[in-house]
A and B are shown apart, each in its own frame.
Chain A
Amino acid sequence: MFPIEKHHMATSIEDAVRALAEDETSQVIAGGTDVLIRLHEGHGDYRNLVDINKLDELREIRMDEEGNVLIGALASFTEILEHDVIRKHVPVIGESVNTVGGPQVRNRGTMGGNICNGAVSADSACAALVHEVDLVIQSPEGERVESIIGFHTGPGRVSLKQGDLLKHFRVRPGNYKGFGASYYKYAMREAMDIATIGCAAAVKLNGEKIGELRLAYTVSAPTPIRCAGAEEVAKGKPLTQETLAEIAKAVEADVRPRTSWRASMEFRLHVIRTLAQRVTRQAAERAGGTF
């Protein structure tokens, strides 16, 4: 039994947006794998729920006519990782969400929730960042599009306002075509865990060289981040061990890990450097490169 005070089952996107806008204490509940845990803890902020589970239009995963990959906010991790469009065009998103929890949690948890709850450890965040996904958001004023870059505004915070409802993610062709990508979740267990550090890389080759590197981390700064410095360093470099070492070196300036009871700053930094090499290398290999 959860200490829920009000539960509204939304009947349409408009209804959900209206309910959310009307009451500033209301919160969206989707798969429940996060909200219900906070309620179990007795959290006061989640007692007034707008339930979007009946909004089947938000579950859709597909490719539109322009080649954009669309992932509904309510699509479960399992649906995402098993979907052909994902497997074919943005497999790293599937790989990433496959590292969330265990099968039961993946059957319910959604990428919408994973991104919108602002968790700094969100497993889908790195992949979203390297593919620079757009978020299509409905608000009482209408629809708007935001980029994932800048969407996270602080620990547990995102740029959604009361009354906003994420409808779907959109990956534009320019952000996935020609890239090889990889994700590694560094955690204390191989399942049912949160990332100590998450790292994704996407590499586009230019002949034998790195044309473009996109490198993203979770739990390495107050929000999930991209690594501008390391990405710059990688540009035009050959696929060598030295390049990987340079990237690993450069990444130190991009990140701001902290010490918590979960792990020390030094340890996190070591993992960040190690993953910079391993994940970039795998992404480059997936793009067709050899070292």
Chain B
Amino acid sequence: MAVGKSPVRKDAVAKVTGKARYTDDFIMPGMLHAKYVRSPVGHGIVKSLDAKEALALPGVEAVFTYEDVPDIVYATAGHPFSLEVDHQDVADRKLLTKHVRYHGDEVAIVVARDPLTAEEAARKVKVEYEEFPVCVTHEAALAHDAPKIHAGGNVIKSHSFEVGGNLDQALSESDVVVEGEFKTPVVQHCHMENHTAYAYMDDHEHIVVVSSTQIPHICRRIVGEALGISWGRVRVIKPYIGGGFGNKQDVVLEPMAAFLTMKMDGAPVKLELNREECLVSTRTRHSTKSRCRIGATRDGALKGIDLDLVSNTGAYASHGHSIPSAGGAKSVNLYPRNVVKYSALTHYANIPSAGAMRAYGSPQVIFAIESAMEDAARAIGMDSVDFRIRNVAREQDVNPLSQKKISSAGICECLEKGRKMIGWDEKRKQYADQTGDVRRGLGVACFSYGSGTYPVCVEIAGCRLILNQDGSVHMQLGATEIGQGSDTAFAQMAAETLGVDYDKIHVVSTQDTDVSPFDTGAYASRQSYVVAPAIRKAALELKRKILGHVREMTGKAAEGMTIAGGKIVNQNRPERVVLDLAEVAIDAYYHKQRGGQLTADVSHKTRTNAPSYGCTFVDLEVDVPMCKVKINQIINVHDAGVIIHPLLAEGQVHGGMGMAVGMALFEELLIDPKSGWVHNSNLLDYKIPTFVDIPNLECAFVETVEPTSAYGHKSLGEPPIISPAPAIRNAILDATGVAVNEAPMTPKVLFRHFSQAGII
């Protein structure tokens, strides 16, 4: 049995010894380096551009401007292509632009023989701008006299749904209706490896792009689209990647790299962003403003949730309205037995573009809902955990939006488990009526999420298994390892179904779109759920072929045999070894009369989507005069179905919690509302938590068995980031009586709220 154990992850040794190669670790002779010329103004149009001085610098090869790029408007969001035209992503940018829409926008690019020269030359390109009024906030962007950022105006899209009944009626049946306004910040992924890519040509036709991407196959298509060339001419290679968190589920650099190599006669051209550029000119998380109402009866029945959310996508749409759309839909799985009304609107603004980021809209939506749930529990005088247990999803509930039955739901058990682990009931009593400078509080919040994007997008995955001569197995996937450990989990799945040892599965970690099976990549916490059936099918097929060859070799019926521990054994008496797999393999390859290379190559489309669940419990203290929060204990409890690799699963949970603590207490990209200037585009001023800012992180699992899943498992990559922020907000409320309805809850923000509340 390989599933459910924690074997050493496939890439661990490569990574601790420094042998794992990332995009920047490949260097080609004659490699050129490119650097963007970026707009210092938040909104405007280029009046004049003079590259003479830059071109005169020794080592500068070329400067390209918005006049030199293809006249093609394309979309960058890393979604699978959609056959439905109105589902396709918003195409709103060219490779370079004359109309600059945020501070950092790209008007020209310099190519030089070394990075320093490229940088110095980019500084020497003289650009004059005519400045336009800037709109940064929701209010400014949606004002009717707001300057148009794109020709179609500033609203990208809006939608709404009302399910499970009628909201007005539900609220009228409620004993209390609470209402609050909530704000979530622009935060950034801050994967440790910045965006980087290089491209070169093998001949006059084919372009090779090596990139730190989560989505090689999608990337190939978008490079083709952006350059107006057929997709088959593009080959994308993805080596190890230093984190992505959604920011590399967007095609940011690759089309430009491909364009430049075409311009430079196929010479390798590298485009590597520095941290400052990565913070401003890749993607961010959408900031949101929302109004949430919740109605409940005194006995604890949740009657209705009403959420109205405005989402700021910044200068270019990228994932745009898909974010609040997904965030709203995925949250319906949490409280399915009441009315849910949701409306959302997405608009442009003169700030960095927002795209996909871990949990894709859910942290914003759940921050509002779970904060309002806390207020509702308090208003009806019910314990916050009890109130949630009473209303969360149970197995066999029907999701009123998708009309699909919820076939596994462990959220009740998660809440019970977390309550025990943190000592909720005792601490509740202990922390009642806190006074003094330092006050303690408890908080809880829940979430639901999906396992993939179906039915909004196609869910296609591919797996190829090859039996090697020595009886080991090579495994190729289109799904990408981005640090989450998917190579390891996939190898476990294959080992499990095929009956060979985990160590005998060699995973090809690099994706190469010329070679790897088709798969759309790492996002939406989809991979373990949607790739598993492809792996399972491929493993079963390979197994069938192996046993078929054994029959040819031995004349014995294949039905009585199976593979276990890398050996062909008697199905009923596994201690009876028929043949070693290596013997079968070598025979299949080299016997002159029979056999052949034994392989399986499977493409699979998943047509289900299982909700996953979980919750966060927090015990914290607030030093009121210092306006500082210290987390004493924080626990995430997850229902992610069957846990494939407990150690890796915990790692995912810790990572999400750490990032969530960042969003809750530390991080925000600060943008000047007048100029659109980003104040803190470096890791000193953009405060991701350090070792001493993150508390000990605890996690636990409630293992349900999801019937639609190949191995009983559900999503886990993104979910851990969703519930900590509202749990922290609720605990601060518990400690101080002050509802801080905005993140991040930094000392500055707490100062404002505490002053208003009169507690300092």
Which A residues have a C-beta under 8 Å from some C-beta of B?
1-3, 42, 102, 186, 188-194, 196, 261-264, 266-267, 270-271, 274
Contacts and interface: CB of A to CB of B under 8 A. Distances in A.
Interface string B83-116: 0000000000000000000000000000000111
A272 B693 CA distance: 22
A42 B747 contact: no
Interface stretch (B18-26, B283-291, B683-691, B722-730): B683-691
Contacts of B755: 266, 270
A2 B670 CA distance: 28
B692 A42 contact: no
B625 A274 contact: yes
B123 A189 contact: no
B472 to A, nearest CB: 42
A189 B687 contact: yes
A3 B690 contact: no
B120 A189 contact: no
Given A188-B746, A189-B693, A270 B116 contact: no
Given A190-B693, A192-B684, A267 B625 contact: no
Interface in B271-302: none
A193 B748 contact: no
A276 to B, nearest CB: 11
A76 B747 CA distance: 31
Contact of B115 (A1, A193, A196, A266): A1
B457 interface: no
A282 to B, nearest CB: 14
Contacts of A186: 626
Q: Assign chain B's interface to a size class.
A: 20 to 34
A219 B670 CA distance: 20
7 contacts: A189-B666, A191-B691, A194-B684, A267-B748, A267-B751, A270-B627, A270-B755
Contacts of B625: 274
B626 A190 contact: no
B119 interface: yes
A248 to B, nearest CB: 10
B690 A189 contact: yes
B479 to A, nearest CB: 35
Interface in B492-519: none
B679 interface: yes
A1 B679 contact: no
A261 B747 contact: no
- Of A42, A188, A264, A274, the most chain B CB neighbours within 10 A belong to A188
Interface of B: 114-116, 119-120, 123, 625-627, 666, 670, 672, 679-680, 683-685, 687, 689-693, 746-748, 751-752, 755, 760
Contact of A264 (B120, B666, B672, B748): B748
Contact of A188 (B119, B123, B747): B747
A270 B760 contact: yes
A138 to B, nearest CB: 32
B666 A42 contact: no
A102 B690 contact: yes
A281 to B, nearest CB: 12
Given A191-B693, A267-B751, A42 B672 contact: no
B746 A190 contact: no
A193 B120 contact: no
A37 to B, nearest CB: 9
B760 to A, nearest CB: 7
A156 to B, nearest CB: 17
Contacts of A3: 116, 119-120
Given A1-B116, A186-B626, A189-B689, 7 more contacts: A188-B746, A188-B747, A190-B692, A196-B747, A261-B679, A267-B752, A271-B626
A16 B92 CA distance: 56
Contacts of B626: 186, 271, 274
- Of A186, A190, A193, the most chain B CB neighbours within 10 A belong to A190
Nearest to A101: B684
B114 A1 contact: yes
Contacts of A192: 683-684, 690
Q: Which 3 A-B pairs have the closest CB atoms?
A: A190-B692, A1-B116, A261-B679
A267 B747 CA distance: 9
Contacts of A189: 666, 687, 689-690, 692-693
B748 A42 contact: no
A131 to B, nearest CB: 26
Contact of A190 (B114, B627, B690, B751): B690
A264 B748 CA distance: 8
B114 A188 contact: no
A186 B746 CA distance: 13
A270 B751 CA distance: 9
A261 B670 contact: yes
A193 B672 contact: no
Contacts of A266: 751, 755
A261 B674 CA distance: 12
Contacts of B691: 191
A191 B692 contact: yes
Contacts of B747: 188, 196, 267, 271
Given A1-B115, A261-B672, A42 B687 contact: no
Contacts of A270: 627, 751, 755, 760
Contacts of A193: 684, 687
Nearest to B747: A188
A90 B254 CA distance: 56
A194 B116 CA distance: 28
A143 B324 CA distance: 67
Contacts of B123: 42
Contacts of B760: 270
